[in-house]
């Protein structure tokens, strides 16, 4: 079978070599003709359609080591798939050996130490499910099918970010298979340089096999959900969002969004497909306090739908899942914002009014608080001046509509990027980002990342990512 080498040459892998690999693995190996190959190779964003040469479905660190040794010995291009949610499709590459981590989904909670150990193939929902059994949680993102590995390695934010920072700020340690196929520990006490690089530097340094997260008391019930109004109310609702978010206690996270109403049962049928504005809220302190804090949102104007109620935190973490299914075509542009300005709200409304697809949205996430209090040099995720995230999410069904939807997304982004801190979220980047945008995302950490890369992966074996050149 034909594979690709690290420097892009074609390489014929013999049956003997393949048999040798299989003999060293517990997990299955899949070739393009095998059942399951397509499931392993496909990612969330249907714009990405790549065909790796072979897939190793790892069952443990031993399989990862065997696969890395094999890739090294044959000079093969290697890629690593966690949850496959990366918008740019960084988990997969044509002709590569793909390490599919999705069989490694164990989670162990140490209640006494308030630490969860999660295998690197976990999705966010796996970790929330197990930690919530103990009334604990770590900072994870808004859609439960996202992979923990990619999210954490690139930073990570969600409803708990205002209290406890980026997801990567909550990592106590990681287990990593290096480019030399050694299993090492990265923590504050062991291989501290590697530990630093892994908290924002992406998959540049090795294959992460497990992550230890610090846990915090959360739930099991929170006050959370969405309130929606017709887009004609957007000016007043966005002003409410702006002023409430500026004063919000850290337990409260507010998200504002504009889109066409999805066919959700909590929205009146005659509003489906019509432009709406919505505020998504999650209060992770006591329910009594939460109900008081979100009362102004529920009482505002005449909402067309209101599901902002007491609910399990684990359910809150899945609330947006149905809006982001695997298999649509997606193109996003994002910027970090220092504040929400009235002039930005005007632009949000203007661009929402020209949306080209029923699935697209303009979204403002609130993230300020704990992450702003750490030093920029704490870890390469950086962006410690970010207080909000603007995300323009183009999403549609047909390839024929690619041009119109990409154009809408880019126009909105071009018009709004003047409000940016100058930084953007590396995990929201698309396939076509310029080197300048990657530099802007990694900011001041880039030079130090290059040194860590040189120490741990001097040959740049791990290159199917936002790649840092070793120096």
Ligand X SMILES: Cc1cc2nc3c(=O)[nH]c(=O)nc-3n(C[C@H](O)[C@H](O)[C@H](O)COP(=O)(O)OP(=O)(O)OC[C@H]3O[C@@H](n4cnc5c(N)ncnc54)[C@H](O)[C@@H]3O)c2cc1C
Contact positions vs ligand X (CB under 6 A): 43-44, 79-87, 90-91, 101, 120, 141-143, 146-147, 149-151, 153-158, 202-203, 207-208, 324, 427-428, 464-465
- Cα separation, 470 vs 449, in Å, equals 8
Other beta carbons within 10 Å of 302: 7
> CA of 425: how far to CAs of 178, 186, 319, 337, 381, in Å?
26, 24, 22, 11, 9
Comparison of 43 and 267: residue with beta carbon closer to ligand X: 43
Q: Tokens 């299955």 identify what position? A: 28
Comparison of 209 and 260: residue with beta carbon closer to ligand X: 209
Residues in the chain: 471
- Cα separation, 444 vs 60, in Å, equals 35
* Contact (Cβ atoms closer than 8 angstroms) between residue 282 and residue 288: no
Q: How far is the CB of 344 from ligand X (least distance, A)?
A: 21
Q: How far is the CB of 399 from ligand X (least distance, A)?
A: 19
Q: How far is the CB of 436 from ligand X (least distance, A)?
A: 20
- R_g over Cα of the chain: 22
Q: How far is the CB of 358 from ligand X (least distance, A)?
A: 16
Sign of CA dihedral 428, 432, 437, 441: positive
Q: How far is the CB of 301 from ligand X (least distance, A)?
A: 27
Q: How far is the CB of 56 from ligand X (least distance, A)?
A: 13
Q: How far is the CB of 332 from ligand X (least distance, A)?
A: 8
**Partners of 108 in the beta sheet?**
117
Comparison of 236 and 326: residue with beta carbon closer to ligand X: 326
Q: How far is the CB of 260 from ligand X (least distance, A)?
A: 18
Give burial (CB, 10 Å; 0-12/13-18/19+) of 358: middle
DSSP state of 382: -
- Cα separation, 400 vs 351, in Å, equals 21
* Contact (Cβ atoms closer than 8 angstroms) between residue 64 and residue 177: yes
Sign of CA dihedral 241, 159, 174, 118: negative
């Amino acid at each position: 079978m034909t594979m690709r080498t690290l420097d892009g040459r074609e390489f014929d892998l013999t049956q003997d070599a393949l048999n040798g690999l299989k003999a060293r693995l517990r997990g299955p190996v899949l070739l393009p003709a095998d059942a399951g190959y397509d499931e392993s190779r496909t990612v969330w964003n249907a714009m990405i359609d790549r065909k790796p040469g072979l897939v190793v479905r790892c069952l443990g660190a031993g399989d990862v080591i065997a696969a890395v040794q094999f890739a090294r010995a044959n000079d093969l291009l290697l890629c690593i798939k966690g949850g496959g949610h990366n918008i740019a499709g960084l988990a997969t590459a044509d002709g590569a050996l793909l390490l599919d981590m999705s069989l490694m989904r164990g989670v162990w909670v140490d209640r006494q130490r308030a630490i969860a150990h999660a295998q690197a193939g976990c999705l966010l929902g796996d970790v929330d499910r197990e930690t919530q059994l103990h009334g604990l949680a770590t900072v994870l993102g808004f859609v439960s099918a996202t992979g923990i590995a990619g999210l954490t390695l690139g930073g990570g934010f969600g409803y708990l970010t205002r209290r406890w920072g980026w997801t990567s700020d909550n990592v106590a340690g990681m287990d990593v298979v290096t480019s030399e196929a050694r299993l090492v520990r990265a923590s504050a006490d062991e291989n501290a340089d590697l530990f630093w690089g892994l908290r924002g530097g992406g998959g540049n340094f090795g294959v992460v096999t497990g992550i230890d997260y610090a846990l915090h008391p959360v739930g099991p019930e929170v006050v959370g959900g969405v309130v929606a109004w017709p887009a004609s109310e957007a000016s007043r609702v966005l002003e409410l969002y702006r002023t409430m978010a500026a004063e919000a206690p850290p337990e409260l996270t507010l998200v504002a969004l504009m889109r066409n109403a999805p066919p959700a049962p909590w929205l009146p049928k005659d509003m489906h497909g019509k432009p709406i504005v919505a505020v998504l809220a999650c209060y992770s302190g006591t329910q009594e306090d939460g109900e008081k804090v979100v009362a102004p949102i529920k009482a505002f104007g005449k909402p067309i739908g209101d599901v902002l109620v007491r609910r399990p935190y684990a359910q809150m973490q899945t609330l947006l899942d149905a809006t982001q299914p695997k298999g649509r075509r997606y193109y996003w542009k994002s910027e970090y914002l220092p504040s929400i300005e009235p002039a930005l709200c005007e632009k949000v409304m203007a661009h929402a009014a020209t949306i080209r697809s029923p699935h697209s949205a303009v979204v403002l996430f609130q993230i300020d608080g704990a992450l702003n209090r750490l030093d920029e040099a704490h870890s390469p995720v950086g962006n410690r001046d970010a207080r909000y995230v603007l995300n323009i999410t183009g999403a549609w069904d047909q390839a024929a509509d690619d041009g119109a939807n990409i154009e809408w997304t880019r126009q909105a982004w071009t018009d709004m990027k003047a409000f940016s801190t100058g930084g953007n979220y590396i995990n929201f980047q698309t396939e076509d980002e310029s080197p300048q945008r990657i530099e802007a995302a990694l900011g001041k950490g880039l030079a130090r990342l290059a040194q860590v890369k040189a120490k741990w992966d001097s040959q740049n074996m791990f290159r199917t990512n936002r790649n840092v050149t070793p120096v």
